[in-house]
A and B are shown apart, each in its own frame.
Chain A
Amino acid sequence: DTGVSQDPRHKITKRGQNVTFRCDPISEHNRLYWYRQTLGQGPEFLTYFQNEAQLEKSRLLSDRFSAERPKGSFSTLEIQRTEQGDSAMYLCASIPLDAGGSPLHFGNGTRLTVT
């Protein structure tokens, strides 16, 4: 168990640019979640995958955001035409399919700064 891995740890970009983040969940964890955390707030749910299927998307996930998990392993989160309001920590988490109330395992996050 190597834990949930996220890359990059930090990303600074100019407004209007596109960015892509990667998440590698714990091996054999079927469920993968993306969250966004802004300064002084709790993490907010963005979307979740069960294997390669994206089963739920928050209304926070605007048209500029897209997430994929093409082979049911790693996932990517892309933000197009970034805005300053997108500056936040983006967290990824995973659990097995039959979690039965078990906690999500979080990565250390990708901190995005849009200038």
Chain B
Amino acid sequence: GDSVTQMEGPVTLSEEAFLTINCTYTATGYPSLFWYVQYPGEGLQLLLKATKADDKGSNKGFEATYRKETTSFHLEKGSVQVSDSAVYFCALSVRGGSEKLVFGKGTKLTVNP
């Protein structure tokens, strides 16, 4: 079945450090890929998405590129801020069916000043 494997945390960085959170997937069809973020005490928010191979999603300084050959969608940010502290979830949905999301387990990021 469809699944997402993401780097387990927690991850602790200093402000302005470079961030990478790895995400790989297995899908029976041609998935769309997403990164969601969950700030403390809040719901899930879409951070970025990519719907086809080689697409790059970007938002708020975060980027991720849909790599079909390596079945990966790694999240990166060049310079993290304290306000980026949150839990990040990689997810996929396969088009043409229910379009339900399949999530990874999440990676908790803490950024220290």
Q: A interface vs B, CB < 8 Å?
A: 31, 33, 35, 40-45, 48, 55-56, 91, 93, 95, 99-101, 103-104, 106-109
Among candidates A41, A45, A91, A99, residue contacting B44 with C-beta atoms closer than 8 Å: A91
Q: Does B42 count as interface, using CB distance less than 8 angstroms? A: yes
Q: B interface vs A, CB < 8 Å?
A: 4, 32, 34, 36, 42-46, 49, 51, 89, 91, 93, 95, 98-106
Q: Given contacts A48-B100, A101-B32, A103-B49, is CB(A108)–CB(B42) below 8 Å?
A: yes
| A31-B99, A43-B89 known, 4 other contacts, Cβ within 8 Å | A33-B100, A43-B101, A103-B34, A106-B45
Chain A contacts of B46 at CB under 8 A?
103
Chain A contacts of B99 at CB under 8 A?
31, 95, 99, 101, 104
Chain B residue nearest in CB terms to A6: B43
A42 pairs with B103, CB closer than 8 A? yes
Closest CB pairs A-B (n = 7): A42-B103, A101-B32, A108-B43, A106-B44, A101-B51, A103-B46, A42-B105
Chain A residue nearest in CB terms to B93: A101
Among candidates A31, A42, A106, residue contacting B43 with C-beta atoms closer than 8 Å: A106
| A1 and B108 alpha carbons, distance in the complex (Å) | 30
